[in-house]
């Protein structure tokens, strides 16, 4: 039955009694739903009073956390949320034989959900009676929804109400500048002028409007009148005052809470602004807006119905009649403007089918439905069944979330908190977010309230603020035994006792449900400010755990700072932190909020600072990953790309280097082969790479020699060679594994044929020799095929001391391979009178090449003589072209110094007759020494040291000398050197020595700290004891740290700070690395000593031991810490142990060991020769090559 009854008709209290009289309530209770708790309690009390009973006998009520219903009760009044919760556990609602849904016009989510369930249930329970009642209802729509159920219209018992519209009121002044507050105040003034009695109810859209109106009306000082605001956040004591009958005239200013939820006695006048703040959820931005909008006609009529209950009433509508008539008839149902995630979760839990098929009075839009499913997928509450169109099922998390009486986002937070060990704190927060903020801020005590609340406030997180309030509240509970004490605490801290009690009730209920579901028990003393504070370097672990759990529920409510107080939210939203937040003045770079509420702007409410890395950790499945700039990274030895991580339009990570191989194996393989293998861009080339590089260079050199570019097949040929060897490869680790599995890198070593389109024969190649001999001395030839560049053609390298031994005429002959081309160019360059006698030129040149003697005279002289003799043409020397010849047909000469460095180069003969001898010193060096050298330096008090000084000699040429420090006994000297290399070496040693002198005491203390481990077994004896070892260690550390060219006191002082900060830690690490080497040396010495004693009578074995001992001292000299890189220390340990093993084997069979050593002598002799040839001026390449030869010999010894 659909009953539409006017306000005052008594339908709420009388219909349950009519049902009772009609015999209902016998086979089940008569259930009556109310949208609000206060209404459920007052309705139950009124019905019981009319039946002459106390509440809790025949008539009871049930609201959240309170059940005042006996099993044998006939009537049960409850909130619609209670009935919905009961449907979860009892889908047939078998407890009831009659259900009355009151105030159905409100069309809340719960009401529409209940109506849908009842429509389905009535087909299964034919004896169940359903009554839907409201003062204003779309009866036709409801009737059709319930199979054309009968409709009953009930008239009210109200008095006539006069309705005045804005334009109808002759005294009302129109003005576009006036606000609804101004108009309401004017209307109140007129009512006070018209009448001295009758209470006034003013409807305002917002709490701020109520406060502003109350303040203005207080200033009017109406006689015998009391102004009373009422809104949801108002303390309970002030709310209940509006129901009292007072001798004064009441002016009540209320939100739309006074439309239907409460009936205030004595109202004669209603002033209706026609506005209300109504929430509206936007799926696209996932934010809830609270705009002030025009109320519907049905809501306006409900407001009108608040007056005229005790006598004739007047309703003043602060808008024109045309405005009223143009408005929607009914308020848009909540299901059409809400987040449907919780509804969908309940439906899946109750197995009610797809929401699109559910019999809602008004079906929600598809976009909102999609958004609801997306939120639940984001929360991990549901999963798809066999494809997109097969529906959804609850996940394990989803089942637990459905059992918790909180929003799905909050329940998701609880589950995450259980995993992260902060369930205790999160249960408190979940309860807090499920009820109204307990903080109160009375208008007349705003500053006092702010001071009280500031004690709880946390600058990093509003969630921590809530935990701080909870902690103080729980402490207060422990400290007192009576309710009055708690109320006193709440009043002192401006907290609502009712809301704090509700918070605790929800907490206890959640605690119980979590325990039932196997989650760990929770203590009531959750949360402390100290355990959650921001600490230097980051957030505490507990803070991180709490806020990661919060993120799991509010992942779409993140924002990043854009300007001082503005942030960029998800889905292109611009957000501001709510003014009441602890983060308002200075939010962090990233925040998460429990709500995104739009009023005058979009606000993030209940917010906290977070780390961006937490977002990716929690929302990895929702994050979008994109990649750009794939490239080879030499340091990492793999192909990497720049990864961008974004979530709902916000970039969390902008450029993170990640391995590209797993993202795009094929592209990564191409990059790896092209850059690492083909280009050879690796730190340490593999053997096959060196081999292939050398072959490639040979081919390229061959092209340069014969001046062609069609031999080398190109890098693409190398690429294809490697590509065919590896289906997928993008890092050096994989390459090493392939080589190991193949037993070596032979399969990767290319042949010349792999590089070449074709190969010239050896005869052709021999025409381009590696060197040319002049005056019995060979000189290196370099070839370049690079027209237009200085190096194009053949370059012969001649040391400066041999330039006078090489004639320019001899160089005219170039090399055999280019001679024919040069002669052809010379002949073609002759004046016509000579050239025409030598046609065809090619034939003449062929004859010249075959028969003319070569190299004994200058080329031009030889040509003139041969042509005169064989062709009868007399060509003077001046007729031969020279400057017009292509550059590559003229020998390029490079004059080098004693280090092989080029002094000058060119193609002119003057380069060979230039004087390259060093200018005479004439005492300049000694003069420079006297002027610049200083002795006995013990501190830096002598100014800056230049890298070089120039002194002009008598021949007007500069002589360059090189100053540097030189270590001496107990001091250092500033010396002048003729060699730059010698100066650099001495200067670095001098810097270390000066530092050791200046900081002698500090280094002495350091040596006492930097000692070998206690179990070193006397290893330091290898160096002459702990004291000597300490000196050598400190010296090596200083050499490592001070390995820069220090030439000013400022630089010396700055390096001093670096040394003092790092030397101990570096020393400790170095000891860790060298200790195994020292132990191996000590063990080797003991083995040698023991074997020596046992081999006294065996001369051959004794000599072997002596020789191996010398090898040990050569391998591990006293200065080995300075001599070798730390990366070599493990090798030294291995080589030393090999010496010990060789000694043991050698004593058993000296002949075999000596034979093996003899095979090494040829290599060691070569090494000794090379070492002796090294001077301070030797090139770095030569030194490196000699060192590599040394290590190869050592490796050979252990092979």
Q: Are 947 and 919 in contact (CB under 8 A)?
A: no
Percentages helix, strand, coil for the chain (3-state, rounded to 5) are 50, 20, 35
Structure tokens at 812: 């005219």
Question: In what helix (H) or strand (E) does residue 298 lie, and over which residues does it extend?
Answer: helix 297-304
Whether the predicted pLDDT of 526 surpasses 50: no
Tokens of residue 1093, six digits: 């004693």
Q: Which two tokens stand for residue 918?
A: 């060093």
Which residues of 139-273 form beta strands (DSSP E)? 151-154, 161-164, 199-203, 225-230, 249-254, 267-272
DSSP alpha helices (H): ranges in 381-461? 396-403, 408-420, 423-433, 446-454
Q: What's the pLDDT tens digit per position in 774-824? A: 867 889 999 999 988 989 999 999 988 788 778 888 889 999 999 999 999
Residue that finishes a domain, picked among 935, 954, 985: 985
Task: Examine residue 1161 and state whether it is found in any structural domain, yes or no.
Answer: no
Phi (first) and psi of residue 120, to 5 degrees: -75, -40
Residue 733: count of CB within 10 angstroms of its CB: 11
H-helix or E-strand containing 778?
A: strand 777-784
Looking at the fold, whether 1096 and 1054 belong to one and the same domain comes out as: yes
Q: Which two tokens stand for residue 780?
A: 């290196």
Angle at 183 between CA 177 and CA 189, to 5 degrees: 135
| 444 and 552 share one domain | yes
* Same domain (yes/no): 451, 580: yes
Residues 410 and 433: beta-carbon distance below 8 Å: yes
Between these two residues, 1181 and 306, which has the higher pLDDT value?
306
Contact 608, 465 (CB under 8 A): no
Q: How far is CA 635 from CA 420, 602, 632, in A?
A: 37, 47, 9
Element (H, E) at 1142: helix 1129-1148
The residues, ordered by sequence, that sit 6+ positions from 275 with a Cβ below 8 Å of its Cβ are: 180, 203, 204, 205, 292, 293, 294, 295
- How many Å apart are CA 500 and CA 431, to the nearest integer? 10
* Local structure of residue 675 (DSSP, 8 states): I
Is pLDDT at 94 greater than 60 in this prediction?
yes
Q: Are the beta carbons of 364 and 339 closer than 8 angstroms?
A: no
β-bridge partners, 200: 251, 269
> Do 950 and 1057 belong to one domain?
no
In a domain, 804, yes or no: yes
Structural domain containing residue 393 = 339-397
pLDDT of amino acid 725: 93
Please give the average per-residue pLDDT across 654-665, as a whole number. Answer: 93
- Tokens read off for 1008: 């006492």
Instruction: For residue 435, give both structure tokens.
Output: 């009820």
Instruction: List the one residue out of 870, 884, 859, 865 whose CA is nearest residue 837.
Output: 870
| Mean pLDDT score of the chain | 86
Please check whether residue 786 lies inside any domain of the structure.
yes
Q: Which of 61-75, 497-511, 877-891 has the highest mean predicted lDDT (pLDDT)? A: 61-75
Strand order across the 313-317 sheet = 161-164, 313-317, 267-272, 199-203, 249-254, 225-230
Q: What are phi and psi of 1077, to 5 degrees?
A: -65, -45
Same-domain status, 247 and 364 = no
Packed helices 1180-1198 and 1150-1173: angle between N→C axes, nearest 10 degrees: 180
Over residues 156-168, the pLDDT tens digits come to 656 889 999 987 5
Does a structural domain hold residue 1193? no
Read off the DSSP letter of residue 199.
E
Average pLDDT over every residue of 1020-1035: 77
* Domain CATH code at residue 321: 3.40.50.300
Q: Quick one: pLDDT band at residue 522, thresholds 50, 70, 90?
A: very low
**Please, which residues have CB within 8 angstroms of residue 378's CB and are 6 or more apart in sequence?**
555, 556, 619, 622
Q: What is the pLDDT of residue 531?
A: 45
Which pair of structure tokens corresponds to residue 737? 């594994």
Tokens of 785: 């095929």
In terms of domains, do 774 and 902 share one? yes
Instruction: Give yes or no: residues 14 and 93 share one domain.
Output: yes
Cα gap 432→473, rounded to integer Å = 13
pLDDT digits (tens, 9 = 90+) for 1157-1176: 877 888 888 888 878 766 55
Does 918 map to a domain?
A: no
**Residue 687 pLDDT greater than 70, yes or no:** yes
pLDDT, mean of residues 846-859: 88
Do residues 458 and 607 share a domain?
yes
Q: Which of 102, 120, 83 is nearest to 42 (CA)?
A: 102
Report whether pLDDT(201) > 90: yes
Token code pair at residue 339: 């987040």
CA distances (Å), 557 to each of 398, 405, 417, 560, in order? 21, 22, 18, 10
What whole-number distance in Å separates Cα of residue 928 and Cα of residue 950?
A: 9
Please provide residue 629's backbone torsions phi and psi, each rounded to the nearest 5 degrees: 50, 55
Domain end, chosen from 121, 154, 187, is at: 154
Q: How many angstroms separate the CA atoms of 189 and 93, rounded?
A: 53
pLDDT grade, residue 861 (50/70/90)? confident
Average pLDDT over residues 994-1009: 84
3-state SS class at 664: coil
Element (H, E) at 798: strand 793-799
Q: Are 701 and 783 in contact (CB under 8 A)?
A: yes
pLDDT, tens digit, 9 for 90 and up, residues 255-288:
887 776 566 778 899 999 999 988 777 776 666 6
What integer is the mean pLDDT of 597-621? Answer: 91
3-state secondary structure of 754: helix
Averaged over 1030-1046, what is the pLDDT?
84
Percent of the chain with pLDDT over 70: 92
More confident residue, 795 or 4: 795
Query: How does 84-123 read in b/e, with b if 16+ C-beta sit within 10 Å?
Result: bbbbeeeeebeebbbbbbbbbbbbbbbbbbbbbbbbebbe
Name the nearest CA neighbour of 823 among 871, 859, 873.
Answer: 859
Please report, for residues 110, 227, 926, 1107, the alpha-carbon distance to residue 69 in angstroms, rounded to integers and kept in the order given: 22, 38, 117, 105
Q: How far apart are CA 34 and CA 111, in angstroms?
A: 9
Instruction: Please compute the mean of the pLDDT values over residues 904-917 and round it to a whole number.
Output: 79
710 and 776 together in one domain: no
Taking the C-alpha atoms of residue 222 and residue 55, their distance in angstroms, rounded to an integer, is: 41
Residue 1155 lies in a domain: no
Q: Average the pLDDT over each of 771-780, 910-919, 932-941 and give the range with the smallest value.
A: 910-919
Q: What is the pLDDT of residue 1145?
A: 87
Least confident residue range of 384-393, 462-471, 624-633: 384-393
Could you tell me which of 373, 331, 332 has the C-alpha nearest to residue 356?
A: 373
Q: For position 979, what pLDDT does the model report?
A: 76
pLDDT value at residue 334: 82
Residues in the chain: 1199
State the number of CA atoms in the 13 A half-sphere of 82 facing the CB.
Answer: 23
Q: Residues 1052, 997: contact at Cβ < 8 Å?
A: no
| Mean of pLDDT values over 709-721 | 92
Q: How far, rounded to the nearest angstrom, does the alpha carbon of residue 429 sit from its chain's CA centroid? A: 28
- The predicted pLDDT at position 162 comes to 93
Per the DSSP assignment, residues forming a β-bridge with 793 are 784
**Long-range contact set of residues 62-67: C-beta below 8 Å, sequence gap at least 24:** 63/37, 64/37, 64/405, 64/505, 64/506, 65/502, 65/505, 65/506, 65/509
Q: What is the pLDDT of residue 177?
A: 63
- 404 and 510 Cβ atoms separated by less than 8 Å: yes
- 534 — pLDDT class (breaks 50, 70, 90): very low
522 and 597 part of one domain: yes
φ and ψ at 103, to 5 degrees?
55, 40
Of 271, 273, 278, nearest to 252 by C-alpha is 271
Q: How many domains does the chain have?
A: 9
pLDDT in tens, 921-930: 667 888 888 8
Assigned domain for 1116 exists: yes
pLDDT digits (tens, 9 = 90+) for 971-991: 999 999 887 778 888 998 998
**Nearest-5° Cα angle at 1193, 1187 to 1197:** 145
Distance (Å, rounded) from C-alpha 552 to C-alpha 557?
10
pLDDT of residue 1036: 85
Residue 172's pLDDT band, with cuts at 50, 70 and 90, is very low
Q: 119: closest CA among 137, 101, 106?
A: 101
Helices of type H across 936-999: 980-998
Cα distances (Å, whole numbers) of residue 49 to 17, 121, 302, 438: 12, 32, 26, 33
Asked if residue 627 has pLDDT above 60, the reply is yes
Give yes or no: residues 976 and 1113 share one domain. no
The pLDDT confidence band at residue 233, using thresholds 50, 70 and 90, is: low
Q: Once rounded to an integer, what is the mean pLDDT over residues 1071-1080?
A: 87
1036, part of any domain: yes
Q: CA–CA separation, 131 vs 20, rounded Å?
A: 13
Q: What is the pLDDT at residue 802? A: 82
Look up residue 1120 and give its two tokens: 């080995």
b/e per residue 822-858 (b: at least 16 CB within 10 A): bbbebbeebeeebbeebeeeeebbeebeeebeeeebb
Least-confidence region, from 549-558, 686-695, 924-933: 924-933
Which residue matches tokens 């109406």? Answer: 222
Q: Which of 967, 910, 974, 970 is nearest to 942 (CA)?
A: 974
Residue 536: which pLDDT band, with cuts at 50, 70 and 90?
very low
506 vs 888: which has the higher pLDDT: 888
Q: Are residues 386 and 528 in the same domain?
A: no
Element (H, E) at 497: helix 497-516
Determine the Cα–Cα distance for residues 591 and 610; give it in Å rounded to an integer: 5
Last residue of a domain, one of 556, 583, 618: 618
The pLDDT, as a whole number, for residue 844 is 94
Task: In whole angstroms, give the CA distance from residue 67 to residue 55.
Answer: 11
pLDDT confidence of residue 510:
85
């Amino acid at each position: 039955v659909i009953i539409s009854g006017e306000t005052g008709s008594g339908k709420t209290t009388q219909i349950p009694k009519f049902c009772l009289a009609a015999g209902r309530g016998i086979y089940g209770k008569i259930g009556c739903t109310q949208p609000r708790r206060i209404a459920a309690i007052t309705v139950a009390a009124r019905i019981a009073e009319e039946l002459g009973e106390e509440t809790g006998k025949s008539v009871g009520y049930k609201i959240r956390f309170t059940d005042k219903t006996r099993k044998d009760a006939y009537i049960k009044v409850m909130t619609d949320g209670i009935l919905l919760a009961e449907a979860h556990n009892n889908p047939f609602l078998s407890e009831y034989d009659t259900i009355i849904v009151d105030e159905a016009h409100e069309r809340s989510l719960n009401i529409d959900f209940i109506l849908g369930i009842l429509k389905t249930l009535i087909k299964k329970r034919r004896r169940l009676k359903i009554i839907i009642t409201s003062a204003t209802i779309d009866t036709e729509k409801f009737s059709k929804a319930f199979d054309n159920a009968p409709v009953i219209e009930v008239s009210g018992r109200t008095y006539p109400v006069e309705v005045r519209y804005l334009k109808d009121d002759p005294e009302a002044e129109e003005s576009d500048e006036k606000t609804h507050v101004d108009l309401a105040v004017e209307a109140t003034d007129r009512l006070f002028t018209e009448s001295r009695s009758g209470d006034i109810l003013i409807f305002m859209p917002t709490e701020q409007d109520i406060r502003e109106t109350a303040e203005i009306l207080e200033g009017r000082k109406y006689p015998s009148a009391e102004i009373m605001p009422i809104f949801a956040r108002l303390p309970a004591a002030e709310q209940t005052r509006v129901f009292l009958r007072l001798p004064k005239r009441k002016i009540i200013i209320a939100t739309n809470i006074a439309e239907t939820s409460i009936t205030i006695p004595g109202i004669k006048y209603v002033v209706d602004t026609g506005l209300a703040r109504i929430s509206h959820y936007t799926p696209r931005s996932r934010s809830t807006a609270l705009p002030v909008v025009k109320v519907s006609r049905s809501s306006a009529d409900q407001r009108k119905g608040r007056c005229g209950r005790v006598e004739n009433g007047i309703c003043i509508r602060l808008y024109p009649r045309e405005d009223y008539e143009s408005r929607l008839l009914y308020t848009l149902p909540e299901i059409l403007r809400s987040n449907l995630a919780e509804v969908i979760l309940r439906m899946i839990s109750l197995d009610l089918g797809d929401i699109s098929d559910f019999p809602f009075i008004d079906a929600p839009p598809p976009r909102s439905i999609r958004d609801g499913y997306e939120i639940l997928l984001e929360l991990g509450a549901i999963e798809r069944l066999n494809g997109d169109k097969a529906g959804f099922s609850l996940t394990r998390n989803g089942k637990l979330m459905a059992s918790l009486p909180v929003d799905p986002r909050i329940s998701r937070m609880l589950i995450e908190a259980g995993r992260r060990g902060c369930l205790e704190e999160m249960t408190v927060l979940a309860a807090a977010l499920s009820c109204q903020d307990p903080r109160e801020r009375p208008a007349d005590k705003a500053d006092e309230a702010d001071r009280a609340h500031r004690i709880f406030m946390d600058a990093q997180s509003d969630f921590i603020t809530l935990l701080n309030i909870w902690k103080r509240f729980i402490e207060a509970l422990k400290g007192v035994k009576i309710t009055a004490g708690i109320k006193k605490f709440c009043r002192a801290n401006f907290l609502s006792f009712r809301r704090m009690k509700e918070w605790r009730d929800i907490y206890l209920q959640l605690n119980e449900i979590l325990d039932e579901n196997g989650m760990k028990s929770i203590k009531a003393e959750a949360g402390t400010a100290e355990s959650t504070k921001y600490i230097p370097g980051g957030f505490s672990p507990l803070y991180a755990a709490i806020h990661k759990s919060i993120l799991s529920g509010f992942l779409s409510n993140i924002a990043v700072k854009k300007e001082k107080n503005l942030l960029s939210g998800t889905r292109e939203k611009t957000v501001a932190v709510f003014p009441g937040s602890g983060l308002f003045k200075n939010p962090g770079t990233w925040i998460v909020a429990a709500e995104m509420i739009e009023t005058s702007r979009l606000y993030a409410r209940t917010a906290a600072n977070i780390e961006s890395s937490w977002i990716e950790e929690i929302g990895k499945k929702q994050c979008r990953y994109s990649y750009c700039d794939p490239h080879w990274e030499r340091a990492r030895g793999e192909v990497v790309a720049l990864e961008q991580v974004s979530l709902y339009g916000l970039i969390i990570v902008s450029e993170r280097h990640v391995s590209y191989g797993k993202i795009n194996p094929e592209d990564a393989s191409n990059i790896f082969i092209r850059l690492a293998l083909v280009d050879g861009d690796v730190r340490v080339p593999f053997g096959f790479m060196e081999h292939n590089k050398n072959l490639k260079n040979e081919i390229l050199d061959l092209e340069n020699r014969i001046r062609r570019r069609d031999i080398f097949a190109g890098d693409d040929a190398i690429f294809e060679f490697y590509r065919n060897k590896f289906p997928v490869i993008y890092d050096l680790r994989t390459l090493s594994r392939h080589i190991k599995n193949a037993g070596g890198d032979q399969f990767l070593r290319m042949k010349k044929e792999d590089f070449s389109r074709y190969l010239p024969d050896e005869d052709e190649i021999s025409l381009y020799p590696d060197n040319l001999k002049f005056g019995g001395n060979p000189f290196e030839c370099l070839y370049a095929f690079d027209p237009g560049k200085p190096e194009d053609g053949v370059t012969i390298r001649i040391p400066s001391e041999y330039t006078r031994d090489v004639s320019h005429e001899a160089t005219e002959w170039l090399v055999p391979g280019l001679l024919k081309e040069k002669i052809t160019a010379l002949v073609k360059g002759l004046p016509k009178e000579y050239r025409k006698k030598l046609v065809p030129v090619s034939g003449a040149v062929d004859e010249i090449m075959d028969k003319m003697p070569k190299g004994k005279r200058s080329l031009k002289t030889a040509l003139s003589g041969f042509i005169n003799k064989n062709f009868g043409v007399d060509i003077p020397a001046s007729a031969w072209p020279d400057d017009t010849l292509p550059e590559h047909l003229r020998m390029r000469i490079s004059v080098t110094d004693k280090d092989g460095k080029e002094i000058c180069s060119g193609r002119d003969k003057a380069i060979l007759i230039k004087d390259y001898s060093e200018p005479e010193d004439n005492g300049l060096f000694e003069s420079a020494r006297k002027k610049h050298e200083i002795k006995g330096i013990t501190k830096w008090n002598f100014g800056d040291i230049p890298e070089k000084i120039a002194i002009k000699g008598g021949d007007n040429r500069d002589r360059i000398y090189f100053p540097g420090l030189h270590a001496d006994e107990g001091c250092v000297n500033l010396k002048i050197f003729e060699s730059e290399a010698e100066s650099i070496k001495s200067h670095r040693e001098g810097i270390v020595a000066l530092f050791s002198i200046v900081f002698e005491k500090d280094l002495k203390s350091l040596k006492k700290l930097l000692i070998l481990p206690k179990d070193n077994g006397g290893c330091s004896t290898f160096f002459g004891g702990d004291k000597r070892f300490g000196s050598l260690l400190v010296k090596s550390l200083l050499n490592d740290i001070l390995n820069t060219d220090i030439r000013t006191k400022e630089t010396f002082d700055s390096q001093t700070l670096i040394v003092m900060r790092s030397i101990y830690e570096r020393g400790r690490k170095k000891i860790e690395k060298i200790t195994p080497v020292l132990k191996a040396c000590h063990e080797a010495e003991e083995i040698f000593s023991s074997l020596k004693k046992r081999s006294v009578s065996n001369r051959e074995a004794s000599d072997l031991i002596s020789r191996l001992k010398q090898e040990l001292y050569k391998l591990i000299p006293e200065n080995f810490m300075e001599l070798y890189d730390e990366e070599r220390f493990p090798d030294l340990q291995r080589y030393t142990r090999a010496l010990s093993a060789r000694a043991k084997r050698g004593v058993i069979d000296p002949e075999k060991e000596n034979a093996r050593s003899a095979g090494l002598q040829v290599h060691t002799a070569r090494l000794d020769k090379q070492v002796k040839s090294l001077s301070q001026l030797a090139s770095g390449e030569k030194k490196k090559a000699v060192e590599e030869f040394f290590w190869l010999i050592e490796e050979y010894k252990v092979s």
